[in-house]
Amino acid sequence: MKSLSTSNPELSLIVPTYNERENIIPLMEQIHKSLSAYSYELIVVDDNSPDGTSELAKSLSSKYPISVIVRTIERGLASAVVAGFNQARGEVLGVIDADLQHPPEFIPALLKAVRDGADVAIASRYVPGGGIEGWTLKRKIISKGAKLPANLLLSSARKIKDPLSGFFLFKKKVIDGVVLSPTGYKILLEVLVRGNATHVVEVPYIFKERERGKSNLTAKEQINYLKHLYRLAWDEGGIKRFLKFCVVGASGSGVNLGFLALFVEVAGVNKIVAQIPSYEISILTNFAFNEFWTFSDRRTPGPRSFLIRALKFNLVSLVGWGINLAVYVLALKVAGINYIVSQVIAIAVAMLWNFSSNVFWTWRIEAKGGD
């Protein structure tokens, strides 16, 4: 059967599949309708689907520019996409799911963004004009909760509204010489962190509900996402920074207790009043350690900027203290949780507030950089 593959396509679109036979024909029809005026190739990477997905895709090669890779050993969406990248011939690479939740009619808008200078063009659910069709409030909360640690721990994803999108295009040169080794299904994070993109654009689109077949997103894939995120954050430095922040916070508790005892036992200050200077001193020592250790790579010179960061850190810490108290009272009085457990929960919530606020505000960086 003769293939319609183009020798030098502008766009190579990767479609990872597993048991997507019901969606292959409408997907190819819609992609071709959207890209008929463009030079493109489709690379279907199938994990040996028992429903005949790969056979059906191969049968369409006389009608559409399709090539099919069947994997019999490896499994997983992200590694399937990397296998497609390795075979791609286009100067622009792209990824789209086979379940029709990513509308193919948006591909030209992504390609235009790349042609206009973007290194990466992301179909985004979370920028103005984007959205999600048919999701419950719970599912939306889970989705936004999943992207929060990526925004927090990965500087490459920090300003991106939808860093977990599975629908995107990018210039092939972004991953030239880069070894991609993703775990799970969030290949975009791998490209953003490992690649050398400097200009990322998000294009709004509406994420649709699956019409046919069953979702391949399992609890195992969610765990793989967390593993992948941890590995990326460790390599980029986000985990190390968080651990440093925690060490500084723990040392600050020691400073607080030490000065509290000093004011009460030596200076004879009232036990309630003594809380104020001892807490403020611990804030200042924490700021100093974070300024010269945790966030040393983000320091900008000059006494004015130093004082502004000190003020910001102080405000963040005071709000964090309020959050700690509020969460503790809610957990203890409303939820009826043991007071020790309540305080552990309160400390964890306040710590996340403090770290995220200082990352995004106190020691904010404007450009992409290592974390």
Residue 47 has pLDDT above 80, yes or no: yes
d(CA 289, CA 282): 11
CA atoms within 13 A on the CB side of 196: 8
- Tell me which of 120 and 137 has the higher pLDDT: 120
Q: What's the distance, CA 109 to chain centroid?
A: 22
| Strands 40-46 and 11-17, sheet pairing | parallel
DSSP 203-214: EE-EEPPP-SS-
Residue 368 lies in a domain: no
CA–chain centroid gap for 318, Å, is: 29
Beta bridge partners of 93: 12, 170
* Phi, psi at 291, each rounded to 5°: -65, -45
Count of domains observed in the chain: 2
Specify the pLDDT at position 68: 95
pLDDT score of 59 more than 70: yes
**Least confident among 90-99, 259-268, 284-293, 300-309:** 259-268
Band the pLDDT of 54: cuts 50, 70, 90. Answer: very high
AA identity, residue 237? G
Q: Which residue has the higher pLDDT, 224 or 351?
A: 351
pLDDT tens digits, residue range 125-140? Answer: 999 999 888 777 777 7
- 231 and 103 share a domain? yes
Say if 92 falls within a structural domain. Answer: yes
d(CA 193, CA 82): 15
What's the CA gap between 167 and 83, in Å, rounded? 17
Residue 289 has pLDDT above 80, yes or no: yes
Answer with the one of 216, 236, 256 that is the final residue of a domain: 236
How would you label 346-369 residue by residue, b for 16+ Cβ within 10 Å and e otherwise? Answer: bbebbbbbbbbbbbeebbebeebe
Q: What is the CATH number of the domain that holds 29?
A: 3.90.550.10
Domain of residue 182: give its range: 11-236
Average confidence (pLDDT) over 262-270: 88
Q: How far is CA 216 from CA 75, 97, 205, 313, 358, in A?
A: 12, 11, 22, 44, 37
**Is the pLDDT confidence value at 22 over 80?**
yes
Radius of gyration of the chain (CA): 25
Mean pLDDT of 10-38: 93
What tokens appear for 350 in the block? 């306040």
Please report the beta strands in 81-230, taking only residues with DSSP state E, as ranges in sequence order: 92-95, 120-124, 131-132, 168-171, 200-204, 206-207
- 149 touches 229 (CB < 8 A): yes
Asked whether the predicted pLDDT for residue 35 surpasses 80, the reply is: yes
Domain boundary at 236, 255, 280, which? 236
Q: What pLDDT was estimated at residue 216?
A: 54
Q: What is the spatial distance between Cα 277 and Cα 263, in angstroms, rounded to a whole number?
A: 9
In the prediction, which pLDDT does 371 show? 44
Selection from 158-167, 304-313, 336-345 with the highest mean pLDDT: 304-313
pLDDT above 70 for 282: yes
Asked if 226 and 261 sit in the same domain, the reply is no
* Domain assignment present for 367: no
Question: Are 285 and 252 in contact, with CB atoms under 8 Å apart?
Answer: yes
> pLDDT digits over 218-232, tens only?
667 678 888 888 888
The residue to which tokens 């060490």 are assigned = 247
* Spatial distance between the Cα atoms of 240 and 233, rounded to a whole number of angstroms: 8
Both 224 and 281 in one domain: the answer is no
Do 162 and 216 fall into the same domain? yes
- Which of 236, 263, 279 is the C-terminal boundary of a domain? 236
Same-domain status, 163 and 131? yes
**Length reported for the chain:** 371
Distance CA 66, CA 44 (A): 7
| 244 inside domain | yes
Residue 150 and residue 53 share a domain: yes
CA neighbours within 13 Å on the CB side: how many for 213?
21
Q: What is the mean pLDDT of residues 168-175?
A: 96
The pLDDT confidence band at residue 151, using thresholds 50, 70 and 90, is: confident
Q: What's the rounded mean pLDDT across residues 99-127?
A: 94
pLDDT above 90 (res 202): yes
**Strand-strand pairing, 120-124 and 131-132:** unpaired
- Identify the weakest region by mean pLDDT among 57-71, 95-109, 197-211: 197-211
Burial class (CB in 10 A: 0-12, 13-18, 19+), 89: middle
- Residue 6 placed within a domain: no
pLDDT of 365 higher than 80: no
> Are both 57 and 121 inside the same structural domain?
yes
Which of the residue ranges 115-119, 150-154, 264-268 has the most confident prediction, judged by mean pLDDT? Answer: 115-119
Helical (H) or strand (E) element with 325: helix 303-329
**pLDDT score at 368:** 42
Q: In this predicted structure, which of 27-41, 79-93, 200-214, 280-294 has the lowest mean pLDDT? A: 200-214
Q: What are phi and psi of 298, to 5 degrees?
A: -110, 5
Mean pLDDT of the chain: 87
**Confidence (pTM):** 0.73
Average pLDDT on 155-159 reads: 84
